């Protein structure tokens, strides 16, 4: 099965998701999305395919979120997507893409829905 995980090795949830994929017998393509972020188009598609809003896919707990004023009323999806592409630390993690679908695996057990 062709599986891609947008991974941050410093994130426990991301590490647990990667381990769950491997325990299920798959070796995914691991994308360090901080070093190689998805394009705006790819990110937008992943978010939509996962059934999320852009706001649900952004890491609002990151200090940068507030520093950039993204918590202000009226910040739209386009501005959030632009910020996520410019600052990939703002992308919530881990996204997993498989032929069965896309999930933001928080909690990590959500990966089983697409394996």
Catalytic residue flag (residue 105)? no
Determine contact, residues 93/4, Cβ cutoff 8 Å.
no
How crowded is the C-beta side of 57, counted as CA atoms within 13 Å?
29
Pairing of strands 4-7, 29-32: parallel
Determine contact, residues 7/97, Cβ cutoff 8 Å.
no
The answer for 53, left when phi > 0, alpha when psi is -120 to 50, beta otherwise, is: beta
Task: Spot the catalytic one: 4, 11, 45, 77.
Answer: 11
CA distance 50 to 108: 14
Residues serving a catalytic function are 11
């Amino acid at each position: 099965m062709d599986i891609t995980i947008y991974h941050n090795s410093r994130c426990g949830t991301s590490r647990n998701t990667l381990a769950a994929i491997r325990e299920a017998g798959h070796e995914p393509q691991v994308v360090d999305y901080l070093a190689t972020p998805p394009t705006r188009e790819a990110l937008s598609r992943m978010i939509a395919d996962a059934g999320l809003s852009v706001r649900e896919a952004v890491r609002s707990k990151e200090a940068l979120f507030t520093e950039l004023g993204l918590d202000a009323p009226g910040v739209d999806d386009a501005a959030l997507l632009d910020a996520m592409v410019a600052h990939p630390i703002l992308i919530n993690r881990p996204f997993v893409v498989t032929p069965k679908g896309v999930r933001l695996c928080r909690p990590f057990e959500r990966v089983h829905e697409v394996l």
